[in-house]
Amino acid sequence: MVIPLTEKRSWMQLLEQCAIGCAAIAALTFVAYRLHFPLATAGFMYLLVVVAASLFYGIWQAIFISLIAVSCLNFFFVPPIWTFIVSDARDWIALISFQACALLVSRLSSRESGIARDANYQRIQMKKLYELSRGILLFDLHHPPGSQLVQLIRRIFQAEDVAIFDANSALLNHEGTWPAEEQQIAKTTYLTDHNEDDHDTRTTQRVIRIGNKSIGAMAIRGEVDPLIVNSIASLAAIAYERQRSYEKEASAENAKQAEQLRVAVLDALAHAFKTPLTAICTASSGLLEMGTLDKTESELADLINEESINLNQLCTRLLQTAKLEASSVSLRTEPVIVSRLVKDVVAELSGTLKQHPIELSIEEQETPLQGDRELLTMILTQYLDNAAKYSAPDAPIDIAVRESDSELLLSVHNQGSLIQMQDRERIFERFYRSSDAKERAPGAGVGLSIVKKAAEAYHGHVWVTSAEQDGTTFFLSIPKIQMGGY
């Protein structure tokens, strides 16, 4: 049978400690015997050696040394001396009391010594965990934390080998002397979703979790307490979550900057287009009013005038988008009678809506609301423009306005094409157009996004319902408290 080297060293250390204790007992025996110390004095001297052995070596060494001490007391100090015979019962009591006292004191001192060692061990481990947490705070968040973690853990805890598998990026980072075939142990731990402690190889495997979700796994080989490895795994999870939060924050900041740049470009382009479009509109209108054009020329001038008006309206919407996306946007309130506003908008769009019968369902109110007339007009105009664009030429358009004590509800209904469920939220996003909408009518996907921004400025909201048989209805709901009440 082959005895492991560590076990050999343990036995050798135990024998060495016992030998030192026996040598101390022998020296005290020589001194006490030569000086003719009584039994009680010699017993107290032996007791000091036993307690010292318990404090510095351990309980088993102390028990062995206490037995040697009792034997020496009996042989050299209990009559008849030079024998192991005890003639007086009181000497028996003294020897038994010494042995019991030695064992009790040894047990207490050994326990206190163990508690002190455990406390010191825990203090050292807490210090290492604190150093690890500080190191994690100093990680370069521009790079994945895996390679930084394995180096830091190995250095702080003096582990032989460390491996961490990141499930999100499928990267395996390792540090140490592990053979290539054993470097996959962390990945295997993640796939099996099972923690394991292998005392023979001194390898501890832990799944790295955030809440109940597994995000990776780690394996550490060396003299590292498995309980401490649990804490290391928790800190590793924090490191990965911190890096991912940083990535999301950086992505959001980049998107914000891109959005600000896009709004600025749109604003600049809209303003740049306004001047030439105004000149084109004026020139085409002037040509038509002169009355000197023949029929073909008049039709071409009419087309130029109509399309330049459409372009001018698109530029106006882009400018409104830029304005509504500014954080400092504020409503310009004025008295607005909604029923009249609806009729005015319908009259202004008579050219666009001329093929569509308009049906109004409005509760007439003579008391005006305090609202932003421009925004309300823009919202209704966009709804009516969409209704005309995406419905059959002769299909009616229904406009309804309902008021309650708390809100104003405006709806525009048409028998247009079905809007799929997955598109009903997204059509209010800028530049988004469903595949059906692209096929039915031209557009830039800007109008409804402006409507949504305008509603948000009112602290209201917009939505759409659509069914094959019932048609499509766009809604606007605005809290009247945000409009200033009556």
Nearest to residue 437, comparing CAs of 379, 396, 387?
387
Nearest to residue 172, comparing CAs of 196, 157, 191?
191
**pLDDT grade for 5, boundaries at 50, 70 and 90:** very low
Which residues, 6 or more positions from 132, have their beta carbon under 8 angstroms from its beta carbon? 152, 153, 156, 232, 235
**208-227 mean pLDDT:** 87
Give the CATH number, domain containing residue 377. 3.30.565.10
Question: Looking at the 3D structure of the chain, how many domains does it have?
Answer: 4
Residues 369 and 474 in one domain: yes
Residues 103 and 147 in one domain: no
Which of these ranges, 12-16, 201-205, 313-317, has the smallest mean pLDDT?
313-317
Look at the chain and count its residues: 486
Q: 397 — alpha (psi -120 to 50), left (phi > 0) or beta?
A: beta
Mean predicted lDDT score pLDDT of the chain: 78
Nearest to residue 224, comparing CAs of 242, 246, 204?
204
Which of these ranges, 67-71, 172-176, 326-330, has the smallest mean pLDDT?
326-330
**215-243 mean pLDDT:** 88
Residues 311 and 401 in one domain: no
Domain boundary among 325, 351, 368: 325
Residue 239 phi/psi, 5° resolution? -60, -45
Greater model confidence, 267 or 313: 313
Domain boundary among 66, 98, 125: 125
**pLDDT grade for 143, boundaries at 50, 70 and 90:** confident
Judge whether residue 326 has pLDDT over 80: no
Q: What distance in Å separates the CA atoms of residue 101 and residue 106, rounded to the nearest whole number?
A: 8
Greater model confidence, 43 or 260: 43
Is residue 131 in a domain?
no
**pLDDT grade for 2, boundaries at 50, 70 and 90:** very low
Residues 346 and 431 in one domain: yes
**pLDDT grade for 4, boundaries at 50, 70 and 90:** very low
Give the CATH number, domain containing residue 195. 3.30.450.40
Range of the domain at 188: 141-244
Tens-place pLDDT, residues 44-81? 787 777 777 777 777 677 777 777 877 887 778 777 77
Q: What distance in Å separates the CA atoms of residue 230 and residue 197, rounded to the nearest whole number?
A: 11
Tens-place pLDDT, residues 120-139? 888 888 888 889 888 888 88
Residues 169 and 39 in one domain: no
Q: Are 197 and 221 in contact (CB under 8 A)?
A: no
**pLDDT grade for 263, boundaries at 50, 70 and 90:** low
Domain boundary among 244, 267, 295: 244
At residue 3, the pLDDT reads 39
Residues 342 and 475 in one domain: yes
The three-class DSSP label of residue 7 is helix
Tokens of 364: 């007439």
Residues 377 and 471 in one domain: yes
Residues 23 and 111 in one domain: yes
Is residue 134 in a domain?
no
Residue 468 phi/psi, 5° resolution? -60, -40
Is residue 132 in a domain?
no
Is residue 135 in a domain?
no
Is residue 185 in a domain?
yes
At residue 267, the pLDDT reads 61
At residue 61, the pLDDT reads 77
At residue 405, the pLDDT reads 75
Q: What distance in Å separates the CA atoms of residue 407 and residue 405, rounded to the nearest whole number?
A: 6
**pLDDT grade for 1, boundaries at 50, 70 and 90:** very low
Q: Where are the alpha helices (DSSP H) in 199-327?
A: 226-290, 295-325
Residues 40 and 114 in one domain: yes
Is residue 207 in a domain?
yes
Judge whether residue 102 has pLDDT over 80: no
Taking CA atoms, 46 is separated from 152, 210, 335, in Å, by 50, 58, 105
Greater model confidence, 289 or 412: 412
Residues 238 and 256 in one domain: no
Residues 257 and 240 in one domain: no
Greater model confidence, 219 or 355: 219
Residues 313 and 338 in one domain: no
Is residue 67 in a domain?
yes
Which residues, 6 or more positions from 208, have their beta carbon under 8 angstroms from its beta carbon? 164, 190, 214, 215, 216, 217, 218, 233, 236, 237, 240
Tens-place pLDDT, residues 421-437? 888 888 887 767 666 65
**pLDDT grade for 455, boundaries at 50, 70 and 90:** confident
Is residue 130 in a domain?
no
- Say if strands 358-362 and 397-403 run parallel, antiparallel, or are unpaired: parallel
**pLDDT grade for 296, boundaries at 50, 70 and 90:** confident
Tens-place pLDDT, residues 464-475? 888 888 888 999
Q: Where are the alpha helices (DSSP H) in 326-393?
A: 338-348, 350-353, 373-389
